[in-house]
Structure 1
Amino acid sequence: MTWMYEGDVRLDRVHLLVAILLTWVTLGLYPAYWIYSRRGAFNAMGPRRVDDLLGIAPLGMAILSLVFAVLGRSADLATGVLDGLMSLVGGVIMIVVSFRFRENLRSWVRERERSPLAADSVAKSGLMTFLFGPLYIQYHINRLKDAGLL
């Protein structure tokens, strides 16, 4: 089954160094926000949907972990375990969503570009998607924008 693109896709170019700086300045919240803010565009690009819960959960869990860290509540064993569990679950969800975004981006390029090399060169590394998630996807969005394909 081929996915037919519907709707307007607007993905902004964010310089990779700016994204890394935002990740550092926001104490790790930026990648979770990035997923939340771009899920509509990626849902319009391909067959792999990211529902509201998967889009909001990493951001909510990252904010709660940050609040726990600022308030020093992680010193208590139960709160520390809860904080660690939230970080783990949020991280796993971000990885799953990153792979869905990657698949949608690749299928979107495949539908528009006749050259099979174009789709194959977009976010082809599963390892890089796993390790860097939103930053790696943003890098490929920037490449597609520079090439005039997005």
Structure 2
Amino acid sequence: MNQVADNPYVAPEAELEVQHEAGDLSVFPRFTTWAVFGLTIITLGIYAVYWMYSRTRHLNSITEDRISNGFVGAAVGVYIASGVSSIMMGLTDASALSGTMVLIDGLLGLASWILMLVWAFKFRNRLNRVTDSRGKPTWAGPILTFFFSVFYLSYKVNQHLDIRASR
């Protein structure tokens, strides 16, 4: 007998998540780069991390070579620790600051910046691989990724979505 006949009170099982093919960029919502820039400024950088986190989840759903959840968690954790450290440094009287506190704050800030940059490059590499855009105008280059990371990646995702929508 089937499951319903055995127990009519059991909820039916169904795959609720829409399955996307590899390379299907329709998983990305189109959100202008100017909005990403504005929200990043308003939220003092927090939106950039949110953008990377949410878009990484979308990218991981359409690629075999996923960005590890452990790496993403570590990057977000160090970013939060750096923010908390900076807030604590700002609230502490300057004469009460020790060299150790300043050093820890600086190291957390540096580690956060490095992890976010590595994350941007991991995202860029997978986006380029998924879209197979080598030699095309939609190719995300390393120099602009280094200098404009989240904003440039947002622009490139939107560029791919616009080309796809114009077909």
SS in structure 1 of the partner of residue 76 of structure 2: helix
TM-score by length of structure 1 reads 0.77
Aligned pairs for 1:16-55 within 5 A? 16-55=33-72
TM-score by length of structure 2 reads 0.70
Kindly tell me: are residues 7 and 18 of structure 1, through their superposed partners in 2, closer, same or farther at Cα, counting changes over 3 Å? closer
Give the equivalent residue in structure 2 for 1:102.
124
Q: Does 1:132 find its partner at 2:154?
A: no
Q: 2-side partners of 1:101 and 1:88: how far apart?
A: 20
Q: 2-side partners of 1:43 and 1:16: how far apart?
A: 21
Structure 1 position 8, deviation (Å): 8.5
Q: Does 1:81 find its partner at 2:103?
A: yes
Query: 1:119-143, CA deviations, whole angstroms, 9 ceiling, x for partnerless residues?
Result: x322432110011111111111111
Give the gaps of 5 or more residues in structure 2. Answer: 1-20
Kindly tell me: are residues 61 and 31 of structure 1, through their superposed partners in 2, closer, same or farther at Cα, counting changes over 3 Å? same
Sequence identity (%): 26
Give the gaps of 5 or more residues in structure 1. Answer: none
Query: 1:87-122, CA deviations, whole angstroms, 9 ceiling, x for partnerless residues?
Result: 111111111111121111112112xx8xx65xx322
Q: 1-side partners of 2:49 and 2:110: how far apart?
A: 13
Give the equivalent residue in structure 2 for 1:143.
159
SS in structure 1 of the partner of residue 75 of structure 2: helix
Give the equivalent residue in structure 1 for 2:79.
62
Kindly tell me: are residues 134 and 52 of structure 1, through their superposed partners in 2, closer, same or farther at Cα, counting changes over 3 Å? same
Structure 1 position 9, deviation (Å): 5.9
Q: 1-side partners of 2:78 and 2:129: how far apart?
A: 30
Moved more, 139-148 or 29-38: 29-38
RMSD between aligned alpha carbons? 2.7
Structure 1 position 44, deviation (Å): 3.1
Structure with higher helix content:
1
